Homo-oligomer: A and B are copies of this chain.
Amino acid sequence: MYSEKVMDHFQNPRNVGEIENASGVGTVGNAKCGDIMRMYLDIDNDGIIQDCKFKTFGCGAAVATSSMATELVKGKTVQEALEITNKAVMEALDGLPPVKVHCSLLAEEAIHAALWDYAQKH
């Protein structure tokens, strides 16, 4: 049912945690399943994302997509990060079953919310 990459990122999630004094923080909820996700971004003066961490109450698919998404945004500019879609994250994980596609939206939306929070502060 799940790819090896999904199981790897679920069992060994990258970048779980919080960032103190983060440049941007985004919290989103998923109406379909009631889960929540929070993303922390550390963005330097050149607008490069230096660090990214997340916390979630979501399922394995939410954990795996968030873990992969944090890896994808690190080192990117704000503009590049805005262009990372849940589709790209799912592709990087070799796919997700259809019933789990909505879980992958949590990561995309939380990153957007954190970037929006950053933009409002700058």
* A57:B59 contact, CB within 8 angstroms: yes
By a CB distance below 8 angstroms, the chain B residues around A57 are: 2, 10, 59-61
- Give the complex CA separation of A55 and B58 in angstroms: 15
Residues of chain B within 8 A of A2, CB atoms compared: 57
Q: Which residues of B contact A35 (CB under 8 A)?
A: 59-60
Q: Interface size (A, Cβ < 8 Å)?
A: 17
Contact B59 A99 (CB under 8 A): no
Mark out the residues of chain A between 1 and 45 whose CB falls within 8 Å of any chain B CB in the assembled complex.
Answer: 1-2, 10, 33-36
Give the chain B neighbours of A61 by CB distance below 8 A.
34, 57
Contact of A59 among B1, B10, B58, B97 (CB under 8 A): B58
Contacts of A1 in B (CB 8 A): 36
Can you list 7 A-B contacts with CB-CB less than 8 angstroms, sorted by A residue number? A33-B33, A33-B59, A34-B99, A57-B60, A57-B61, A59-B59, A59-B62
Q: Which 9 A-B pairs have the closest CB atoms?
A: A34-B99, A57-B60, A59-B59, A35-B59, A58-B59, A34-B100, A33-B33, A34-B97, A57-B59
